Amino acid sequence: MTPTPSRAVQLLQSLLHLGPLLVLAACGGNGSSSSSSTSSSGSSSGDSTATVPGAPTLYATSVADRKATLGFTSPTDTGGATVSSFEATCAASSSDTHTVTGSASPITVDGLTNATSYDCTVKAVNSLGSGDASVSKSLAPTATPDTTDTTKLPLGDNLMVTAAPASTARGYLYSCSTPDSSQPGTTNKGPWFNSDGTTWNLGTKLPYAVEGAESWASSFATSIVSSLRSITFNGVPSHGTGQFPITSATSPMASQYDTNGNKIVAASTTWTGLKTSPTVNSTPTCLGKGAIGVFLTGARLFAAMDAKGRDARAWEVTDACEGHPAPGNNYHYHSMPTCGLAADTASQHSALIGYVADGFGLYGKQGDNGKILTNADLDECHGHTDIAVPQYHYHATEQFPYTVGCYRGTPITSHN
């Protein structure tokens, strides 16, 4: 009789029988000593799940002589690895393509051909390579800045509209009221109106400015609480003004064409509830009569229309700073004042010169790289975003409507 193996012997025999199967399992079932992990934790280095970055957002471009500057924001999707650089490319054709690498926005691409159309994009780069390109923007470098002939400024009388302008419209003023010839206002056309009936000459008008030298104790202050801006001002400017009311004794030349009988009176006023980060609305809001903004001079900005609904800058006679009082004795401007503001610096973006009632800022006549702006550079409300000021903002120009054509944001309820 054969003795029964002990438990220990039985276990040893089982292990010897299963040994080859265990070896095969350890080698991935095919006898090979190499393997690739599909674990979600990735390789030991932690990089196996990383990818190239997503596309940056190209939000603004500007052009100058043989170059373009691209402003962009980093992609939210970095691919799981640090974005180390960005590639800015401007291409007119396969043989006319220029790429520059930079570490941050903005990036300037040089060596372009003036008056040639380029499609420009930006890519983000990480350790795995270049990611997707941004949505492209088209541009054409220019050797000379755009300028406006101030001897033939387009008359804005026929550029008032009472329906929201199309997104492609430029140079209009969206008014909340229809023109009304029965309202107060001068009816005498000055010699600065050109014979073509559609333009006027700023230089010819300047000698007719209201004379005098009045000075004022101006006040202007802003504060921000909980992302809402308040502006407190007394409505009189930080610069001198002409003498109002206009009389033949004090301003013999101006009184031939404008008999503004209003006075300038200081009165403390506070605007509240201006959002520091206003929303850009898809549909513009019309401009009413009266104040639509405040300049840093401490005096109000009115839209570019007089009480009759005409081009106020062309028809009304102002002082040399381009201001005058309205009924209610509020000194105001219909365009950018020529006094009391910091002068623009060549090759630089204009500084902030005021705030509009929807919370957006108003800047001077120069955009990125000091380009003199025209209506063609701005949207239907006379604003845009650019590299120097990524937030939407308005600009002053020499062309009608001079400052604001419509509200791009939502104006505060009270802004008198």
| Segments making up each domain of the chain, as ranges | 57-139, 145-416
pTM: 0.79
Q: What is the dihedral of CA 161, 166, 168, 169, to 10 degrees?
A: 0
What per-residue confidence (pLDDT) applies to 148? 87
pLDDT over 50 at 45, yes or no: no
What per-residue confidence (pLDDT) applies to 118? 96
pLDDT over 60 at 158, yes or no: yes
- What are the tens digits of pLDDT across the range 125-135? 999 999 999 99
Using a 10 angstrom Cβ sphere, with 0-12 exposed, 13-18 middle and 19 or more buried, the burial of residue 232 is: middle
Element spanning 120, H or E: strand 118-126
Higher pLDDT, 231 or 95: 231
What per-residue confidence (pLDDT) applies to 294? 98
Query: In whole angstroms, what is the distance from residue 369 CA to residue 66 CA?
Result: 13
Mean pLDDT of 27-33: 42
pLDDT over 90 at 9, yes or no: no
Element spanning 312, H or E: helix 312-315
- Rounded mean pLDDT of the chain? 89
User: Collapsing DSSP states into helix, strand and coil, what is residue 288?
Assistant: coil
What per-residue confidence (pLDDT) applies to 24? 39
What per-residue confidence (pLDDT) applies to 60? 85
pLDDT over 90 at 151, yes or no: yes
What per-residue confidence (pLDDT) applies to 65? 84
Q: What is the distance, to the nearest Å, from the Cα of residue 169 to the centroid of all Cα atoms in its chain?
A: 17
Query: In whole angstroms, what is the distance from residue 410 CA to residue 414 CA?
Result: 12
What per-residue confidence (pLDDT) applies to 142? 82
β partners of residue 384: 393
What per-residue confidence (pLDDT) applies to 144? 63
Mean pLDDT of 271-276: 98
Query: In whole angstroms, what is the distance from residue 143 CA to residue 278 CA?
Result: 35
Mean pLDDT of 202-230: 96
Report whether CATH 3.40.190.80 matches the domain 57-139: no
pLDDT over 70 at 103, yes or no: yes
Query: In whole angstroms, what is the distance from residue 356 CA to residue 136 CA?
Result: 31
Structure tokens belonging to residue 282: 């898809």
pLDDT over 50 at 4, yes or no: no
Which of 47-56, 257-266, 276-285, 303-312 shows the lowest per-residue confidence on average (mean pLDDT)?
Answer: 47-56
What per-residue confidence (pLDDT) applies to 146? 60
pLDDT over 70 at 96, yes or no: yes
Q: What is the distance, to the nearest Å, from the Cα of residue 392 to the centroid of all Cα atoms in its chain?
A: 3
Higher pLDDT, 395 or 38: 395
What per-residue confidence (pLDDT) applies to 19? 47
Which of 37-51, 135-149, 344-358, 387-401 shows the lowest per-residue confidence on average (mean pLDDT)?
Answer: 37-51
β partners of residue 372: 366
Element spanning 24, H or E: helix 7-26
What per-residue confidence (pLDDT) applies to 59? 85
**Cβ(187)–Cβ(310) under 8 Å?**
no
Q: What is the DSSP letter of 366?
A: B
Quote the Cα angle for 317-322-328, to 5°. Answer: 75
Confidence of residue 143 (pLDDT cuts 50, 70, 90): confident
Which of 59-73, 111-125, 206-220, 302-316 shows the lowest per-residue confidence on average (mean pLDDT)?
Answer: 59-73
Most confident stretch, 169-173, 342-346, 368-372: 169-173
**Proportion of the chain above pLDDT 90, given as a percent:** 79
